Each structure stands twice: as structure tokens, then as C-alpha cells.
Chains A and B, each alone.
Chain A
Amino acid sequence: MNRFAINLNYIPLLVTISLFVLMFGLGSVFYQGFFSPQVFLNLFIDNAFLCIVATGMTFVIISGGIDLSVGSVVALTTMVSAALLETYHWNPFPVLVLVLAMGASLGCVMGCLIHFFKLQPFIVTLAGMFLARGLCYLVSIDSISISNPLYASISQYRLPLFGDSSISVGVVIALVVLTVAIFIAHFTKFGRTVYAIGGNEQSAVLMGLPVGRTKILIYTLSGFCSALAGVVFTFYMLSGYGLHATGMELDAIAAVVIGGTLLTGGVGYVVGTLFGVLILGVIQTLITFDGTLSSWWTKIVIGLLLFAFCLMQRAFESGTGKLKAGASAAVQRRQAQVRAMATKDVSAVT
């Protein structure tokens, strides 16, 4: 996407960012202690894994697909890590490599099925979700606590920032993932092909783009992100459990949509997803600070937000449609020129 291109297309992103600022502002006004750097950074700390998952999901959704398996892969990652660390006493590093490879491979398999056999992403990733969750339970029905010293120290480590505030290792990982993702989306052929596929897959094929390879890579990337998020989640929870991250795929989708990406594909920004995640975090924080509202209000608020954003997207789509009906000024000028020429021709003959 060109910088400073059509301002119109940045509007959803601006709305998302403004909403976040507004919500954070409201919280600061109404609740004591809300307006502090640590509260802000806690948004990142508590949602680092969601951020990573949602980043991978952004690519999938921009390409016009969907990945329902992400939450289950996160859970599977925690379970396999815990089992290998605690039951089989593996060294942490091979464990990390293995689980990341596992997530990527699962994604790759799903991508291959979707591409080679032309299956619907919804169904394939749904099956992947069942499979990953089921494999979790095959490893262990109950949760396994992690006592590995490296994991424990990473879990507790806080990277100090200005003043009293600090962030966790997970946040650093999330920010690195985000930066890399933004680079990929805007400065690499792979990233632009993702957008092309989302815009018009058939055209992308005819333009000679490596659509098949890219599609498989997209799901591999999503699987990798889910596994990486699983690693961060493991640091966060220090346990492996089959019930971890239930519903995380929905949160990820919500974050991506609120961040301005269209579910139809082709349009969206990775940075929008970050703000989508932050908004989800802020809602939770607001409710916690309030203390009087029960936690299920979070769900209702998220639902309402989704509704509002989707309405906005719809209005936006039909609005710009009308704008495009009247072409840009340059084109209109040329059309007037050509018409003038035609008039001259005709009158010359008569």
C-alpha cells in the first residue's frame, strides 16, 4: 500500500485508533489509578499472545480465508511443552523448536488441503481445531504444571522501561512479530500477493502470481504464529492444559475485524489488528477496574463493538461505492477532452 495514498481507506483504521484512545481516556477519567503507564503496558503483557495470534490471523483474513484452529494450536503447544518439559525432562530449547515446527507443520498441512483439493478454509481449519484440541487431551486430560527453571524465570522476568513500568518477554516477542508482519505486508512480494489473492484470486493466478505457494504459506504462517503465541502463553500461565485458549480464535477474529480488516478480504492493515487487540484488552481492564460489573459483560460489550464496527464497514463500503461512481477528477477531464474531439469530428462531417 502506498503511503499517503487514498485517505478514504485509512478511515476505518483511524476510527479504531480513536476508539482506543477514547476508551483509555474514559477509563482514566472514571477510575482511580487507571491512567498509569503500567496499566497501559499491562494491556500488552496480558494480551501478547492474542496479539501474535491475531497478527497471523490478519494475513489469513486478508487473503479471504479464515483459521479457526488458532486457539487449539495454542493449547496444544502449551500441552506438548508441559509434557516434554515435565514428564520427559527435555531441555527447553529443543522443546521450543519442536512446538514451533509442529504449529507450522499443522498450518502447512491445512494450507495444502485447502489449496490442492480446493476445500473451504472454514471446514478445514474447523477440523484442524478439533484435531489439535483432541491431541491435547490425548497427551493429558488434566493440566500439567511447568516447573522448569528457564520457563519460570522468563515468566517472571520484566524488562524495565521508563520509571517504574516494565514489560514481559512476551511483549517483546509480540512487538517483534508485529514489526516483521508490517514489513512483510507492505514491503515483500509475499505480503502483496496475500492482498492480491484477497482482492481477486482468479486475477492473481492469471497475473502469474504464485497463488498456491502463497496460500499454503499463509496458513503455515498462521500456524507458526499460533505456536509462538502458545509459547508466550506457556510463559504466562506456566502450565499445559487442554482447556487453555478456548474461544481465542473468536477473540482473534474480533480483534482483526475491529482493527479494520474486511472479512471479505483484500483490505486491512496489520497495525489495525494491534489496536483491535488493545481495545479488547481495554474493555477487560475497564470492567476489572469497575469491580461492580460481572465479567460476562465483556462478552456483551465486545459483541456490541463488533456490531458497531461492522455497521461502519457496511456504510463505508456503500459510501465509497457512490464516490467511485463519479470517477476521479483527472479521468473526468480527459473524458471531457475526448468528447470535445468527437464533437469536432461529427460537425466536420456534417
Chain B
Amino acid sequence: MGVGGYTRIRTASDDRHETNVAAKLQSMTANAVPVLEMIGVSRSFPGVKALTKVNFRLMPGEVHALMGQNGAGKSTLIKVLTGVYPPDEGSVLLEGKAVHPATPLDAQHLGISTVYQEINLCPNLSVAENIFIGRYPRKGPAIDWKTMRTNAEELLGRLSVYIDVTQLLSAYSVAIQQMVAIARAISISCRILILDEPTSSLDEEEVGMLFSVIRSLRDRGLAILFVTHFLDQTYEIADRITVLRNGELVGEYMASALPKFDLITRMVGREIGESSFVKAKATDASANAMASPRRTFLTARGLGRRGSIQPLDLELKNGEVLGLGGLLGSGRTETARLLFGIDKADQGTIDIDGHTVTMSSPKEAMKRGIGFCPEDRKSEGIVAALSVRENIILALQSKRGVFHFLPRKKQIAIANAYIKTLDIKVSDMDKPVSQLSGGNQQKVLLARWLATDPQMLILDEPTRGIDVAAKLEIMGEMLALCRKGMAILFTSSELEEVVRCSDRIAILRDRKKITELAGAEADEHTVLKVIAAGHA
């Protein structure tokens, strides 16, 4: 178990995979002709040097992981490769020849295809059309829909995906949409496939499916560039790893030759105490064992909503972290939304401090002393164009109402206080919050709710898309708040984090709560077993 990531159960195919990799690596080092090479590439934006003289190479028939924290330059590197930005200096060589893709279309024609995290396809078009748009099979002057459909089915079949390709893309889950994106990429007969954070929205089974597809593509000779935050996934799929830090190349390593701890150190540039975190919780646990029983802040009884969550019971106690464990789609966010009043419950009750309340809106929840950091920071959390200061005091101002306006001086004081305590890296609090990195944005969201002096905090995937160091800071802050007596509901798609930080874990599967685990019995292995079994 390491920092950030999850543990996957080994299967027989893993063993086969290992021997394949070993053989591949041998052949690779023998004839090392990179299919793609970037030499001395730099790119800056006003005020930011995103890439500084980076060297990078990609071999055919390998999976190459590009790693680094937020702001390290991974995104920019990919955008330079795919023609979104031209490099300020340096060259890009494709099979030894210099290329200058000026648009994504150019890059596509050169054989470089990208599948982005946000699935850049059109949801209002059918699956078949998304695969073939721009390259339609024709019958005379008109588009040949029938042939397109057959070709699409065949293409997806090669990836072991069997769906109705005439349905709109929006009818399918993110995992399927990603497969469609990959099918499109390989159908453009690419030599290089770039996958930018492909697993962020996938659950374990879907990741497994994706990885087997990647492996089969690699075995066919494709070069695959894989960008991810998940360390365990990197080690599972990558042959080689390139680490970037602050826009510079730290190094290129064979995955088998770089221990996880060294990788993290190179990404962060300092030693991260892996064990220090575990220690924190251990001391917590022993201290709590001796303390008096905790006060229950919120009790949910039979809380449910049709189409969202089946009736469940939850108890949130002051000074305790309740983790929601479960696979993607198990109902974690839905539960959080019910508790915060974003969705209205059809059945069941919520009691706070002994009184039954109707959680009819976020405003109501806030009045009761609850705060909420949503899952999707960008679209549900930060108000992008408003300044950092305004984002921080937003909920507090909402609590005070329209007329009790916080005078500017007070706003500045409050914002400063939280910038300090949470260590938010921002030079000017009047800058738009959109200019901050993901980790700092998450801290701003946290500050927003802390400013309302809540008794309970719901943190829905607070560590999603954040670099390692910031993740630890946020989890540390969470535990600190807990020690001060706050009740916390915590969800994360990284089960390992949930296990590590929670005092109790409520396990969800398929929109239903299965059981609760606490203390010693709550380890990853047991949780996974419970989820798989569907019962305690």
C-alpha cells in the first residue's frame, strides 16, 4: 500500500503480463529507436514557464507514464505534442524527422492521437458517428450510414466492447465513452496514443478493462503515453516512467527499476513521510479509545431517494471521520447530496442534535451547521472569475444574508487567516481563483466552509485530481479538524485513503448501504471483500 492509489487483486493474466514485459524490455533496449522524441522543448505563458528544455522520448510498443505534480508541465507537454501550442524552442521528432503540428488535426495526420480526461467527443451524436466523424464512408456524395455502423461495431468489437452504436454517446457511461474515444483514436491508424488521466472516472473493473485494451494495443506495436496521478496504476501498466517537476525533466526510468518511494521523492522534490501519516491516525485511535464516547451530531434514518439511494442509516459523531467506501457509482456522492439538501429525500428522516429537520436546501443545511465540498471542483465548487477572497467568504456571506455585508477589511482579514492556516499558495487574494492550482482551489473551498464555523463537514472526493503533497495536507487538515470536535463525512475513490483516514467506514454498493466497519476490521482487503460479497 502506498501513498495515493489503490490495490488491485492480482490475477493470472498479471503473471502473463510480467513475462511479456520482460521480453519486451529486452528487445526495446536492443534496438532503441524512439518513435517520438522531444529535444530541448520549452514553452512559456505570461508569467509562467510551463516547460524548460525538456527532453522526452517514446519507444514503439511500450507504455510510457508521464508523471508529475500539478503544474509540473504534463498538460503543456501533451498540448505541444498535439499541436495545441507551438514550442517556443526545441524540436519534436517523429521517427527521426522534425515535425511542427500546428493544429490538433495536423497531429492526428501525423499519427498522434489523444484521448483526454474530459472525453472530447460530441454527446449529441451517435457512437458510430463519433468514431467516424470527419472520415465518413461514402456512397457517392452522401454519407454511408450503414457501412459506418458496421465498421464502428467491428472496431469496438476489437476492444471487446459490444454496444448499440446507433445510440447517442450520452446514453453510455464514462467508461464506455472512453472506449469509443480510444476506438476513434486507433481507427485513425495512429502510431502514438496519448491517454490523459483516463482512469479518473472509472471504477476498478473498468480500469482493468481499459488496461487490457492498452496492453493489447501495445503488443501490436503502438507507443502509448499515459498520464496519471495514480501511482499504483502506473506501476501496473507502465514500462517506463518520465518524471517532470516545475516544467523541467527530472529523469526517465524503467518502471521496474524505480521504487514507489523514489518516484514520489522525485515528483515532489522532497522526502514525503509515508509512514508519518499512518502514525497520525494510530495515535488518534489510541487517544480516542480512552476518551469518552462521542456525541452524535447527525442521525439519518431510512434516508433514501428514488433513483438515487436506497434507504440507509448513518450516524455522524463529533470528532469522528465517517468514510463512505464503495466503487464508483455506488452512491457516495448521492448520499452526500441528500445530507446537504442538494437533493430532497423521498423517505426517511435526518435528526440533528435530537431534532428532526427537513434538509430542503443547501441553505437549510448550512443553517444547521453543515458544510459541503463537492466532488467536481471546477463546475460545482469554485466560482472561477471571482477572486480568492470572494470565494472564501461566499458561504459566510450567504449565511449572514444579503444585508449584513462583510466590510472589505473584514473580508481580507478572514481570507488572510485561512490562507495562512491552510497554507494556500496565492500571491494576491484578489486574483481570480481559477488561476490557482487544483490543490489550492480545494483549500479555498475548504476555507469557504470553515469560515461558516460548521459542526459537520462533508468532503466529497476532496483529493481528486490533486498532487501528492496537497493530498496529504488536506487529509492532515481534515484530521486536525476532527480532533477539534468536528464531525466529518469523507468519500474518496481511492479506497486506501478512506481506510486510512476514517474512524468508521460505511460501505456502499449499487446505491445501497451494506454495512459499517470500524477500527481494526477496517482495512482495504476486508472492505473489498464486503463490496464483492454484497453483504457484511
Contacts and interface: CB of A to CB of B under 8 A. Distances in A.
A324 interface: yes
Given A189-B143, A331-B172, A347-B532, 14 more contacts: A183-B142, A187-B141, A192-B125, A193-B133, A203-B120, A208-B104, A266-B122, A328-B171, A330-B163, A331-B163, A334-B162, A342-B205, A342-B532, A349-B10
Nearest to B106: A208
B168 A6 contact: yes
Interface in A177-202: 183, 186-189, 192-193, 195-196, 198-200, 202
B73 to A, nearest CB: 20
A32 to B, nearest CB: 46
Contacts of B354: none
Nearest to A208: B105
Interface in B129-160: 129, 133-134, 136, 141-143, 145, 149
Contact of B122 (A199, A324, A330): A199
A206 B104 contact: yes
B291 to A, nearest CB: 34
Given A328-B171, A343-B532, A204 B163 contact: no
On chain B, which size bracket covers the interface? Answer: 35 or more
Contacts of B378: none
A204 B125 CA distance: 11
A335 B134 CA distance: 31
Given A206-B116, A328-B167, A192 B532 contact: no
A138 interface: no
A5 B143 contact: no
Nearest to A334: B162
A123 B119 CA distance: 31
B222 to A, nearest CB: 19
A196 B529 CA distance: 44
Contact of B533 (A2, A209, A343): A343
B134 A189 contact: yes
Contacts of A202: 120
17 contacts: A2-B126, A2-B128, A187-B142, A188-B141, A189-B143, A199-B123, A200-B120, A200-B124, A205-B104, A266-B124, A324-B171, A328-B171, A330-B164, A341-B205, A345-B9, A346-B532, A349-B9
Interface in A202-239: 202-210
Interface string B270-308: 000000000000000000000000000000000000010
Nearest to B509: A339
A300 interface: no
Interface in B96-125: 103-105, 108, 114, 116, 119-125
Given A325-B307, A330-B162, A345-B11, A203 B121 contact: yes
A209 B133 contact: yes
Contact of A192 (B136, B184, B528): B136
Contact of B121 (A9, A198, A200, A267): A200
Nearest to B139: A187
Given A203-B122, A207-B120, A196 B104 contact: no
